[in-house]
Amino acid sequence: MTQTERLKRLAKLAEIRSDAELKRFSAFRTHMDMLVARKAAAEARLSASFAQPKAFSIAEARLANAEAGRLAREMAALDAEMARMRPGFEAARQKAVQEFGRVQALTKLAEAARNPAQRHG
pTM of the model: 0.74
Q: What is the pLDDT of residue 117?
A: 62
Which parts of the chain register pLDDT below 50?
121
Q: What values do phi and psi take at 9, rounded to 5? A: -65, -40
| Domain over 3-119 is classified CATH 1.10.287 | yes
Distance between CA 103 and CA 88 in Å, rounded? 22
| Domain positions in the chain | 3-119
Query: Residue 82's closest CA among 32, 47, 40?
Result: 32
